[in-house]
């Protein structure tokens, strides 16, 4: 065990009682379909590593913001980074949000090695999940384990972000039956302090450019856990895009967040870095230290990863060994590389932790809410962190 991470605490003998406690707090999927998703232990991160992680998140947020603004209006780059054409008019017609606020609700995923090397794997800037785990369950676990939790800031930052956006409706697919997505939008609404109605995305429809819910109520300002790339595939995608373009609907995160979401933007940022363009000295140092070389083609001599520009939950990820031969691939998640272009990234190794549930690789998430890095999410799983991984609370020594 390295000094970077330390697993603390022992699982309670009465797991059912603790699962009920978490359910009352709003985390209703600690146990899901007979499986233990939540690990009843916590991981302590060394304080200097956390400070470096927060610094990396702050600087890379600037890098991504600057790269997205560079891409806006360049349709050849939209195509290169996989942005569906149904969204191009929205990106060109609508104003780009203020600096640092293209997405007000986002999460970086980092690989931190056993030696403490920090490498950013991807940015989930459109519809990241894990908010309830990070904002509710993690501070609770850290308090019991005697760890500091930066996650206590998350609810206040959501309140500030939604005070600016002021959505009137929050939506997810299968609201009321999909526990994770339903619980996520309910927690966000609760933390916002606003009167926001929660609805099912499948009940929404567009009437002459106006979005309406299942009760025929007009929706003007919508927060939706709905990946924007699916507008290229779903039957109502073009109608929804028209509602956004015409100004009848404001969407949060706004349309430009799909630029940040595309893993192709990482390749664009790396290419600009290699060409010596766009970034200042501090940003260039951050790219060199915390980002991984990422390209549109497999040009690596050593081990690398391939993944869809819009892959989620590990779906489409393939790990290749130093000889360029396939070593691992995700077989549980949906492989979106059949729908969207692929990027290739230098491989980074995840730290390994030993828990009462077994040995796992640890993925470290860092939420960025209202432009502020503010909350860690721990995921314990295999070499590829997919749907079968566990949640484990991450705190600071």
For residue 101, being part of any structural domain is answered with yes
| Domains held by the chain: number | 1
Q: What is the pLDDT of residue 234?
A: 92
**Is pLDDT of 170 > 70?**
yes
**Which phi and psi (to 5°) does residue 83 adopt?**
-70, 125
In the sheet where 326-329 sits, what is the strand order? 294-295, 342-346, 304-308, 318-320, 326-329
For residue 390, being part of any structural domain is answered with yes
Q: What is the mean pLDDT of residues 232-243?
A: 94
For residue 39, being part of any structural domain is answered with yes
Q: What is the pLDDT of residue 314?
A: 58
Q: Give CA angle at 315 (310, 319), nearest 5°.
A: 105
pLDDT confidence tier of residue 311, bands split at 50, 70 and 90: confident
**Is pLDDT of 388 > 90?**
no
**Is pLDDT of 1 > 70?**
no
Q: What is the pLDDT of residue 158?
A: 98
- The 8-class DSSP code of residue 104 comes to S
**Is pLDDT of 386 > 80?**
no
**Which phi and psi (to 5°) does residue 389 adopt?**
-75, 165
Q: What is the pLDDT of residue 312?
A: 66
**Is pLDDT of 67 > 50?**
yes
For residue 278, being part of any structural domain is answered with no
For residue 304, being part of any structural domain is answered with no
Q: Each residue of 76-106: pLDDT tens digit?
A: 999 999 999 999 999 999 999 999 999 999 9
For residue 268, being part of any structural domain is answered with no
**Is pLDDT of 241 > 50?**
yes
Q: Report percent pLDDT > 70 for the chain.
A: 98
CA dist., res. 279 & res. 62, Å (int): 9
For residue 335, being part of any structural domain is answered with no
The answer to whether the CB of 147 falls within 8 A of the CB of 397 is: yes
For residue 344, being part of any structural domain is answered with no
122: domain range? 5-262+351-396
Q: What is the mean pLDDT of residues 149-177?
A: 97
Q: Give CA angle at 62 (252, 60), nearest 5°.
A: 100
Is the bond preceding residue 253 a cis peptide, omega within 30 degrees? yes
Q: What is the mean pLDDT of residues 131-136?
A: 98
**Which phi and psi (to 5°) does residue 309 adopt?**
-60, -20
Greater confidence (260 vs 386) lies with 260
Q: What is the mean pLDDT of residues 259-269?
A: 97
């Amino acid at each position: 065990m390295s000094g970077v991470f330390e697993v603390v605490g022992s699982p309670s003998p009465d797991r059912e009682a603790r699962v009920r406690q978490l359910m009352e707090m709003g985390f209703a999927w600690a146990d899901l379909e007979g499986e233990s998703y939540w690990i009843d232990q916590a991981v302590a991160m060394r304080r200097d590593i956390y400070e470096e992680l927060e610094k990396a998140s702050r600087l890379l947020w600037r890098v991504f913001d600057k790269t997205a603004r560079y891409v806006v209006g360049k349709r050849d780059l939209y195509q290169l980074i996989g942005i569906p054409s149904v969204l191009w008019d929205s990106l060109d017609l609508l104003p780009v949000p203020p600096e640092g606020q293209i997405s007000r609700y986002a999460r970086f995923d980092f690989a931190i090695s056993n030696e403490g090397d920090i490498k950013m794997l991807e940015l989930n800037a459109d519809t990241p999940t894990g908010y309830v785990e990070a904002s509710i369950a993690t501070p609770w676990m850290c308090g019991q384990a005697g760890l500091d939790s930066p996650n206590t800031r998350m609810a206040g930052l959501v309140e500030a972000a939604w005070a600016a956006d002021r959505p009137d409706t929050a939506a997810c697919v299968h609201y009321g039956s999909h526990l994770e997505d339903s619980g996520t939008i309910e927690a966000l609404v609760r933390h916002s302090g606003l009167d926001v109605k929660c609805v099912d995305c499948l009940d929404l429809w567009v009437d002459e450019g106006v979005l309406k819910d299942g009760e025929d109520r007009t929706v003007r300002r919508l927060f939706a856990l709905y990946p924007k790339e699916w507008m290229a595939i779903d039957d109502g995608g073009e109608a929804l895009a028209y509602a956004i373009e015409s100004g009848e609907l404001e969407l949060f995160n706004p349309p430009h967040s799909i630029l940040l979401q595309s893993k192709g933007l990482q390749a664009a940022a790396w290419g600009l870095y290699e060409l010596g363009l766009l970034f200042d000295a501090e940003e260039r140092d951050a790219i060199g230290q915390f980002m991984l070389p990422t390209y549109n083609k497999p040009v690596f001599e050593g081990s690398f990863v391939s993944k869809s520009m819009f892959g989620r939950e590990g779906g489409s990820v393939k790990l290749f060994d130093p000889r360029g031969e396939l070593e691992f691939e995700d077989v549980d998640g949906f492989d979106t590389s059949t729908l969207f272009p692929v990027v290739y990234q230098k491989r980074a190794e995840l730290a390994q932790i030993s828990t009462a549930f077994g040995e796992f690789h640890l993925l470290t998430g860092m939420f960025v809410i209202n432009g502020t890095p503010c909350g860690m999410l721990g995921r314990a799983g295999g070499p590829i962190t997919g749907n079968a991984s566990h949640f484990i609370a991450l705190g600071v020594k």
